Chains A and B, each alone.
Chain A
């Protein structure tokens, strides 16, 4: 072979360095990691994935979609293809008023800004309120997508423990006192009170009341993120923080993603007028306006179809899947594991003995073609390493049973190996038989307080001493 002709004219590495010098400091936190590469494996077709947060859009009737788009082409083609106002179209806001009314909230359309998905609300609120180094208080675990948005604006995030009644508001108050004594005043508290992502727990009414009081007493903003409130599978609805507060200190984040379609990228924020005006400015800079086509589509849907009926069909579907997953967990996970029992939403949070690192467990699970989200991404302080988030909306019941069985096998193997290594007695043999018995066990687990151990903290202390 002769040496290659046209010798390279440029160096890719030098290019990379040239660009690297231009990156902002805030992109420094946007690191890639081995775990993320591992997560990418869960997209493989042969993998049963509990890793996503995907609603089941396959249950939406295509003929409904066709009639909506035909109607738009007939009636509002030019408008649908045009820019719109930054705050959103009036008719879309009416749909939003409707959705919020379904959860007993009364809202003035003027207090609403339509956004490109709920994720944009997280970005805009953070952009509006946070300078580098400012503090945000969130739940632990928190939605990783929110943590990423907060980190991108270089916020300090303090995470408050949860139990089966949601955020420990007493600990929130202690933390606020401590922060105050350090001269730090958090800009806002971020919470998903109903069917929390990833925790799967719901904040109790007394805690909701107390949180709203705390916000008023301390003149602190709260961002209530409520994507799943209408996906309730049991029990009575609880008032939202927004309705308890009346919109003075509580900002409200809503979305059409889980009740209609995440593909439309349509969400909204409700905030006190002075805050909303600032958010509006940020929205103008970000993307001028939310997709007019999506907004008109939602309106066409709400106008001519019963959106509540679709939500109740989804609710039936997801309830059955949740029940299947809870039963499968009780049957296949070892007694050392515990998990939350969500009354709605899309996620179960399971916690394993602390000698199991769920990122490593994921590697073993992927060998058996099953995936989940390791818990570490839901914390910024090293906690969550023995926990996992399991989504039950995106897989059918048969896949759920099989997938949980496979994960259970891998966990049991690791528990047995640990027992062998430490000389501790091997765990009780798996109970494949008694399903009724297992269901009981699941309920007991659900009722128990879900303590989320501060393992990293403990290790750090131990090392110091």
Chain B
């Protein structure tokens, strides 16, 4: 157990872990790469990001994302309806995969972040939620789904009148929130927060 040592992900150099003051950044002693940072009120930030993420996720799931009008036909992209449509038409595996990676896991992970920040004082409970976050974070593919929407929009741009709806803008917010939660704040920060309480 080496809880006072950190390995630089860039140069693999071993560094001693030190307690930082708020908004301070720890750099690798060899290559200067950012190792970890201390963020003021991280638990409250996590709570607010997860809460807003949940609201925007629900909006983006149930409201139309884009709509297409070709002479005589009006089509709307709604994630839940798409999954149900694929499932009913026999594309069970594809629909389940989309359901889990774009709907269920993102929803579950936001709930877990919310509960983790809420139950931080109760070590056992917080650890349970944190382990869930650690497992699930690798199986959320919202970023790829978002790029897929953009690629599809370009593919069908010439065929009819395309418009973006409220779900699309909500999806962008969810995408940004996930970026902040798991790219800007990485999972090590969550574990540090858990261990330092």
Is B truly associated with A? no
Contacts from A to B (Cβ < 8 Å): none
Contacts from B to A (Cβ < 8 Å): none
